[in-house]
C-alpha cells in the first residue's frame, strides 16, 4: 500500500494564506493548513445541498473568517452547523466566527474545553507566560544549526508570535449543542454521519463520515506523514480506531494535521504509536530513564519523522510517565 504524496492532492480550488481548499467530491472540501499561516490544523467544508457544514475551526479567527468567505463563494451560503472534533484549541480557536451556528461536540469535549477557555482568558489578562515561551523558542532557534530542526523551530516561532498578536482578538467560544451518540445529517445533496469514537488522540473524539463518497474527516486521530501528538492520548484505543478506520469503507481520510491520506497512512500512524510504546517499554525494562529514552531512535520510516519539532520529546516523556506508573 502507498501513502498519498502532495502531488496527488486534488488541485486546490480556493486558497488563502492560511489554508488551501481541495475538492474531494462535488461540494466536499478539505481545508489543508499552510505551514506559515495561522490555521495550524485542517478543517472541512461540506455543501449539504440546502445548508453548509463545517468540521473544525482552526487555531485563530483569521483563517476561520477565510473559511466563512470560502463557504459563501463555493456553496452560496454561510455555514449553519459546525462540528468540533476534540478539545484541543488549535481546532476551535476560530470558533467565534461561527458563533451564530449550531456548534456540536461530544459532552466530554465541551467539558474539556471549559478550562482551556478559562486559561485563554487568563492569558489575555497576563500574556507573560506566552511571551516567555516565545523567547525560549527564539533562543533555541538562534542556537540550532541542524537545518530540519531550524525549519521546525521557525514554524514554532511563527506560531507563537502569531498567537500573541491575535490573543486579544480571540473570544473563546464553546459548543452550544452536545451529543454522545451518532447523528446523521440528511441534506438534499448528501448525508453525512457524525460519529463519536471515544478515547483515542484525547479522551473524546468525533469523526465525520460521508458513506456514499467514501470520505472521512478524522480530526487528530489522523496525523499523516508526521509524528502524531500523543501526550493526551490513549494508545491501545487509538491504534484500534486507526485499524478499524483502515478496514472500513472510507478511502480518503482528512487528518487533523498533514496532507490527505489513504488507508496506508492510517496503518503507518498506528505503527508509529506502537513503535513508540514498544521503545519506551524496552527502556523501562532495562532500568533506563526518560532521558535515556530521548536518546533512542525509532525504526524507519519513523526515525525521519522524529527529527522534526517538539512532538518527539513530548511523546517520549508522556509515554514514559504513563508506562512507569503502570509498572510501579
Which parts of this chain interact with Zn ion (CB under 5 A)? 88, 220
Shortest spacing between CB 220 and Zn ion, in angstroms: 4
Shortest spacing between CB 285 and Zn ion, in angstroms: 30
Which residue's CB is nearer to Zn ion, number 190 or number 257?
Answer: 257
Shortest spacing between CB 128 and Zn ion, in angstroms: 25
Shortest spacing between CB 219 and Zn ion, in angstroms: 7
Shortest spacing between CB 102 and Zn ion, in angstroms: 22
Shortest spacing between CB 295 and Zn ion, in angstroms: 27
Which residue's CB is nearer to Zn ion, number 59 or number 213?
Answer: 59
Which residue's CB is nearer to Zn ion, number 66 or number 220?
Answer: 220
| In contact, 35 and 309? CB cutoff 8 Å | no
Which residue's CB is nearer to Zn ion, number 112 or number 152?
Answer: 112
Which residue's CB is nearer to Zn ion, number 154 or number 203?
Answer: 203
Query: 3-state SS of the chain?
Result: CCCCCHHHCCCCCEECCCEEEEEEECCEEEEEECCCCCCCCCEEEEECCCCEEEECCCCCHHHHHHHHHHHHHHHCCCCCEEECCCCCHHHCCCHHHHCCCEEEECHHHHHHHHHHHHHHHHHHHCCHHHHHHHHHHHHHHHHCCCHHHHHHHHHHHHHHHHHHHHHHHCCCCCCCEECCCCEEEECCCCEEEEEEEECCCCCCEEEEEECCCCEEEEEEEEECCCCCCCCCCCHHHHHHHHHHHHHCCCCEEEEEECCCECHHHHHHHHHHHHHHHHHHHHHHHCCCCHHHHHCCCCCCCHHHHHCCCCHHHHHHHHHHHHHHHHHC
Shortest spacing between CB 232 and Zn ion, in angstroms: 7
Which residue's CB is nearer to Zn ion, number 18 or number 88?
Answer: 88
Which residue's CB is nearer to Zn ion, number 48 or number 266?
Answer: 266
Amino acid at each position: 500500500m502507498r501513502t498519498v504524496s502532495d502531488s496527488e492532492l486534488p488541485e486546490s480550488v480556493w486558497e488563502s494564506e492560511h489554508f488551501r481548499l481541495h475538492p474531494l467530491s462535488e461540494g466536499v472540501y478539505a481545508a489543508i493548513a499552510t505551514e506559515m499561516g495561522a490555521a495550524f490544523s485542517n478543517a472541512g467544508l461540506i455543501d449539504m445541498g440546502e445548508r453548509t457544514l463545517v468540521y473544525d475551526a482552526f487555531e485563530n479567527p483569521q483563517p476561520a473568517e477565510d473559511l466563512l468567505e470560502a463557504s459563501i463563494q463555493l456553496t452560496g451560503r454561510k455555514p449553519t452547523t459546525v462540528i468540533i472534533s476534540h478539545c484541543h484549541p488549535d481546532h476551535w480557536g476560530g470558533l467565534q466566527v461561527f458563533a451564530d451556528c449550531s456548534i456540536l461536540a461530544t459532552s466530554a469535549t465541551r467539558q474539556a474545553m471549559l478550562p482551556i477557555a478559562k486559561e485563554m482568558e487568563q492569558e489575555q489578562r497576563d500574556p507573560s507566560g506566552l511571551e516567555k515561551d516565545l523567547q525560549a523558542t527564539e533562543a533555541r532557534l538562534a542556537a540550532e544549526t541542524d537545518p530540519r530542526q531550524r525549519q521546525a523551530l521557525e514554524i514554532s516561532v511563527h506560531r507563537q508570535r502569531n498567537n500573541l498578536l491575535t490573543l486579544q482578538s480571540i473570544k473563546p467560544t464553546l459548543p452550544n449543542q452536545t451529543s454522545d451518540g451518532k447523528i446523521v445529517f440528511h441534506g438534499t445533496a448528501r448525508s453525512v454521519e457524525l460519529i463519536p469514537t471515544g478515547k483515542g488522540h484525547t479522551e473524546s473524539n468525533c469523526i465525520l463520515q460521508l458513506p456514499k463518497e467514501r470520505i472521512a474527516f478524522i480530526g487528530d486521530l489522523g496525523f499523516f506523514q508526521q509524528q502524531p501528538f500523543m501526550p493526551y492520548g490513549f494508545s491501545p484505543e487509538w491504534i484500534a480506531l486507526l485499524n478499524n478506520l483502515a478496514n472500513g469503507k472510507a478511502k480518503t481520510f482528512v487528518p487533523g494535521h498533514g496532507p490527505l491520506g489513504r488507508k496506508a497512512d492510517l496503518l503507518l500512524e498506528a505503527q508509529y504509536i506502537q513503535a513508540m510504546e514498544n521503545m519506551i517499554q524496552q527502556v523501562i525494562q532495562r532500568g533506563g530513564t526518560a532521558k535515556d529514552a530521548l536518546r533512542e531512535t525509532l525504526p524507519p520510516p519513523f526515525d525521519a519523522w522524529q527529527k522534526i519539532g517538539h512532538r518527539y520529546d513530548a511523546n517520549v516523556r508522556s509515554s514514559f510517565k504513563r508506562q512507569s506508573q503502570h509498572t510501579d
